[in-house]
A and B are shown apart, each in its own frame.
Chain A
C-alpha cells in the first residue's frame, strides 16, 4: 500500500495532466463557443499547476517508481519544466490563429495536453516499454493534431504521411528493443546495462538491435537519412501545430536518446557513436544545403531543424558527460529559437492569410521595426552569430566534439554553418533591404506580443549571460548520469 502511494506521488504531475485533459474534453461539450476561452485558461492553469507539482516534488536524488519502470531525477524534472514552459508559450502564440480558423476547440487543448503527458513519460521512462508508451502517446496525439483542420487537404495529406512513416519508425524501434530484450532478458534500462557489462554476448545480434533502435530514434528526431517526413509535415500542418511539432517534443526526444543509448547501452557506445556521427554529418549537409532552395518559410525552417539536429548529434556522439550537457543546452536553445521563429510567423498570419512564404516577410522593417528586430535576433541566433544564444549552443557542442577528437568533423560543421548562414541572412535581407509588398498593420493580441518579445529578447539576453542556463544543464545531466 505504501508503495503504491509512493508511486502515485512520484508520477503526480503526469496523472494530474491526464485527469485535466479528460476533464477539458468533457467540459468542452457543455461550453458555448463564446465561452471556449475558459478552456484556454484551464489549460494554462493545468500547466502551471503541473509545474508547481514537479517543482515541489523535486529532489536532486534519483527515485524510482512502478517497479523501476519510471524514474524521477534531476534531468527529468528540468526537462519537464521546460516542456511546460514551451507548451504554455505554444498556447499563447496559437490562440488567435486557432480562433480565426475555427480550430479553437477543446480537442486541440486536450490533444496537446495528452502529447505533453507522452513527452513526460518519455522523459521519465526507465523501461523500454514505458519509453515506447510515452512515444506512442505523443505521436498519436500529434497525428491527430496535424489533421485537426479536417477540410484542409494539405493537412490531411501531411497527417497521413506522418502517420505511415511514424508507424514504420515505431515498428523499427520495437523490433530493435525486442532484440535487446532477447539478448539481455530484461526491458529495464539499468538491468540491460548491467547485463551487457562484463561477459561477452552475441555482438552481432546486439548491433542489429542497436541499428533498429537508432533508426527509430533518427526517424523521430528527423535526422538524415530518415528526414523525409519533416518538411512535408511542417509545411502541411496548421502553423500552430507546426509550432508544437518542431519545438518541445525535441526535449523529450533528447531524453529518449539519453535513456536508450547512454543509460541502457553505454557498452555499445563505440558502435552508436559511429552511427550518430554519420547521421550528424549528413543532417548538417542536407539540412543546410536543401534549405537554400526553399521558398516556403515553414519548409525552410524544417530543413533548418534538420541541420540543428545534426549539431545536437555532434554533442551526443562525443559520448562524454560534457557532450550530453552541451547537447541538452543546444536542445533547450533550439526550442527557444524555434518557438520565437514560428511565433513570429503566427503573429504575421491573419484571417484568411497564412504568412508562410519567404516573400511575406518583405519589408517587415517598414511595417513593424520591432517585429523585424525580433525576427532578426531569431535568425542570427539560428545562424549562430554572437552575441546570441545560438552561438553558445554551437560553440559548446563543437567544443565537445573537438574534445572527443573529431577535429576535421568540427571544421566541416563550421564550413556548413557558413552555408547555413546564407539562408538566414536571406530572411534578414527580405525584412530589411526589400520594399514591403503589403502594408496591412499587424494585428495580434497584446499578451502574445509581449510574451513573444520576451521570448525573442531572451535569445539575446541569455546569449550575453549564458551561465545560468548552462549551470542548469550541467546540474540536470551530471545528477542523473553520474
Chain B
C-alpha cells in the first residue's frame, strides 16, 4: 500500500483534491453548512499532506523529471497518462495545494450561499492545476489546462460581484482562444512525431519558420494566462468581480500556469524561435513592468490596483525567462512562488475589508489603522513585500532577475529597477489612503479587528513571505539543477542540420 502510494505520488496529488471536491458536492445543504466546510478543509489539508513527500523525497541533484508514472490512455492517438515533475514544478504544486487550504479557510463564514458548490469548485480546480504542473503528455496537459477553466468560470460567475457575467465570460473566451491555437500547435507536433510525449517534442528538429509559428501559438495561449501586455485586459475585470477565493487562486496560481508553461513547452520546444523572438518578449515584459505599474498608480479600486500590480510583477517573470541566464531564470521561478504568497495575502487583505464594509473603493476607507491595528500591521507588511522590501520574498526574486538582466543588458536592468520605485509608490500610497489619517466615516469607525481565522491565515502567509525572504536556499536548491538543465536545452539549436 505504502509503496503503491510512493510510486503514484503525483496521481495522488492530482486526484485527492478532485475526489474530495466531488465528495463535498454530495453534502450540499445550505442550512447546515458546517459539515461541508469541515469536509472541504479535511480534503484540502489531506491534498496538501499528500503533496509534501514530493519535497522530502526529491533528488536535488537531478534536473530531469522525477516521480514519473504513466500508462497508455488513448492508444488511437498515442496519448498517454504520463506524469512527472522537476524542480521547477514542485514548488508550484506545493504552492497550489497550500493556497487551496487558505482559500477554504478564508471562505469559512464569508460564503453562505451554495457552500458545497463553492468548496467543490476550488478543490477540483486545485487538482486540475496540479495536473497542469505535472503532465508530461501534451493532450493530458491540455485537458487539465482547459478543464480548470470550468470551475474558475463558475466560481467567478456564481459568487462574484455585480458585473461578474461580463468578467467571467471575457475571461473564459480570452483563455479559450489562446488554448485552441496551442491545440493546433500540438496537433502539428503530433503529425511530425507521431506522439504527444513532451520528451519527443524536445528532441524534434524544426526549421525556424515552423518554430516561430509554434512559438507564437504557444505565446497566445500563455501570454493571455500570464498575462502579458497587451492581452492582460481580462485580468483586472476578472479580479474585481471574483470572490476573494477566486482572486487568490487567479493571482497565486492561475497566472503561474502561464509562466510555467513557457518554461515547459514554448521555450524548449522552439528554442531557436525563443532566442529569435527574445527581443520582442523582453520588450513586452518591460512594458508590463513600467507601463502597468503606472496604470496601477491611477486605480481607485483596491482589487484592480493589486491586479495591475500582479501584471507588473509577472513582467519580471517573463523578463527573467527571456534573458536566458541562470540567475534570471531562477529569479523568475522564485518570483513566481513569492508572488503567489504576496498577491494571495494582498487579496485576502482586501477581502477582510470587503467582508466588513462591502466596498473595494479606496475612497470608502481612511484611518482603518485606528480601528483595526493588528490588521493594519499585516497589511503594511504585505504592502512592503509587494514593493520589494529586502528580507521579504518579494525582494529576492526581483533582485535576482535584475542581476540577471544586468548581465544581459544594462538598460533592461535599469528599466526593470524602476518598478522598485513605482511599486512602492502605488502600494504605499494605497496603504496611506486606506489605513492612515483620520477615521473617514461611520463604516470605518465600526470596524472590528481580525478574528482568529483571519489572523491565522494572514500570519501563516506573513511567516512564509519572511522565511522565503530571509532564507530562500531551500527553494533555489530545489530549482537549481532543473534550471541548469533547461538552460542547456535552450542553448542547443534545433534547426535541422544541413539546411
Residues of A participating in the B interface, judged by any CB pair closer than 8 Å: 365, 369, 380, 385-387, 391-392, 395-396, 398-399, 402-403, 407, 410-411, 414-415, 417-418, 421-422, 425-426, 428-429, 432-433, 465-467, 470-471, 474
Judge whether B350 is part of the interface by a CB distance below 8 angstroms.
no
Chain B residues within 8 Å of A417, by CB? 176, 180
Judge whether B450 is part of the interface by a CB distance below 8 angstroms.
no
Chain B residues within 8 Å of A391, by CB? 143, 146
Chain A residues within 8 Å of B176, by CB? 385, 417-418, 421
* Contacting residues of chain B (60-82) with chain A, CB-CB under 8 angstroms: 73-77
Give, as a whole number of angstroms, the nearest-CB distance from A450 to chain B.
18
- Pairwise interchain contact A386-B142, C-beta atoms closer than 8 A: yes
Chain A residues within 8 Å of B76, by CB? 466-467, 470-471, 474
* Complex: A429 Cα to B28 Cα, angstroms: 21
Residues of B participating in the A interface, judged by any CB pair closer than 8 Å: 28, 73-77, 117, 139, 142-143, 146-147, 149-150, 153-154, 157-158, 164-165, 168-169, 172-173, 176-177, 180-181, 183-184, 187-188, 190-191
* Complex: A386 Cα to B187 Cα, angstroms: 15
- Pairwise interchain contact A411-B184, C-beta atoms closer than 8 A: yes
Chain A residues within 8 Å of B184, by CB? 398, 402, 407, 410-411, 414
- Pairwise interchain contact A387-B180, C-beta atoms closer than 8 A: no
Give, as a whole number of angstroms, the nearest-CB distance from A367 to chain B.
13
Chain A residues within 8 Å of B153, by CB? 425, 428
* Complex: A277 Cα to B117 Cα, angstroms: 44
* Complex: A369 Cα to B114 Cα, angstroms: 10
- Pairwise interchain contact A386-B191, C-beta atoms closer than 8 A: no
- Pairwise interchain contact B164-A433, C-beta atoms closer than 8 A: yes
* Complex: A470 Cα to B139 Cα, angstroms: 16
B188: contacting residue among A402, A422, A428, CB under 8 A: A402
- Pairwise interchain contact B165-A415, C-beta atoms closer than 8 A: no
Question: Which A-B residue pairs are the 6 nearest by beta carbons?
Answer: A386-B143, A414-B180, A470-B76, A433-B157, A418-B177, A386-B146
A414: contacting residue among B77, B158, B183, B190, CB under 8 A: B183
* Complex: A342 Cα to B187 Cα, angstroms: 32
Chain A residues within 8 Å of B139, by CB? 395
Chain A residues within 8 Å of B28, by CB? 369
* Complex: A407 Cα to B190 Cα, angstroms: 14
* Complex: A470 Cα to B153 Cα, angstroms: 30
Give, as a whole number of angstroms, the nearest-CB distance from B63 to chain A.
30
- Pairwise interchain contact A418-B173, C-beta atoms closer than 8 A: yes
- Give the number of A-B contacts (CB < 8 Å): 89
- Pairwise interchain contact A380-B165, C-beta atoms closer than 8 A: no
Q: List 18 A-B contacts (CB under 8 A).
A: A385-B176, A391-B143, A398-B184, A398-B187, A399-B191, A402-B191, A403-B191, A411-B181, A414-B184, A417-B176, A418-B180, A425-B173, A428-B153, A428-B154, A429-B169, A433-B157, A470-B74, A474-B76
Minimum CB distance partner of A430 in chain B: B165
B181: contacting residue among A414, A426, A428, CB under 8 A: A414
- Pairwise interchain contact B183-A421, C-beta atoms closer than 8 A: no
Chain B residues within 8 Å of A421, by CB? 172-173, 176
Chain A residues within 8 Å of B165, by CB? 429, 433
Minimum CB distance partner of B145 in chain A: A386
- Pairwise interchain contact A385-B150, C-beta atoms closer than 8 A: yes
Chain A residues within 8 Å of B181, by CB? 411, 414
* Complex: A411 Cα to B173 Cα, angstroms: 16
Chain B residues within 8 Å of A403, by CB? 191
Chain A residues within 8 Å of B188, by CB? 402, 407
Chain B residues within 8 Å of A380, by CB? 150
Chain B residues within 8 Å of A387, by CB? 143, 147
- Pairwise interchain contact A433-B180, C-beta atoms closer than 8 A: no
* Complex: A380 Cα to B176 Cα, angstroms: 12
- Pairwise interchain contact A402-B74, C-beta atoms closer than 8 A: no
Chain A residues within 8 Å of B172, by CB? 421, 425
Chain A residues within 8 Å of B143, by CB? 386-387, 391
* Complex: A387 Cα to B149 Cα, angstroms: 11
Additional 16 contacts, C-beta under 8 A, given A414-B181, A433-B157, A471-B76? A369-B117, A386-B143, A386-B146, A386-B147, A387-B147, A402-B188, A403-B191, A407-B184, A415-B177, A421-B173, A425-B153, A426-B169, A428-B157, A432-B154, A465-B74, A467-B73
* Complex: A308 Cα to B103 Cα, angstroms: 39
- Pairwise interchain contact A395-B157, C-beta atoms closer than 8 A: no
* Complex: A344 Cα to B306 Cα, angstroms: 42
Chain A residues within 8 Å of B75, by CB? 467
* Complex: A430 Cα to B77 Cα, angstroms: 36
- Pairwise interchain contact A467-B147, C-beta atoms closer than 8 A: no
* Complex: A395 Cα to B138 Cα, angstroms: 13
- Supposing A422-B169, A470-B76 touch, asked if A385 and B154 sit within 8 A by C-beta, the answer is no
Give, as a whole number of angstroms, the nearest-CB distance from A236 to chain B.
31
Chain B residues within 8 Å of A433, by CB? 157-158, 164-165, 168
* Complex: A399 Cα to B78 Cα, angstroms: 13
* Complex: A395 Cα to B168 Cα, angstroms: 25
- Pairwise interchain contact B147-A399, C-beta atoms closer than 8 A: no
Chain A residues within 8 Å of B146, by CB? 385-386, 391
- Supposing A387-B143, A432-B157, A433-B165 touch, asked if A466 and B74 sit within 8 A by C-beta, the answer is yes
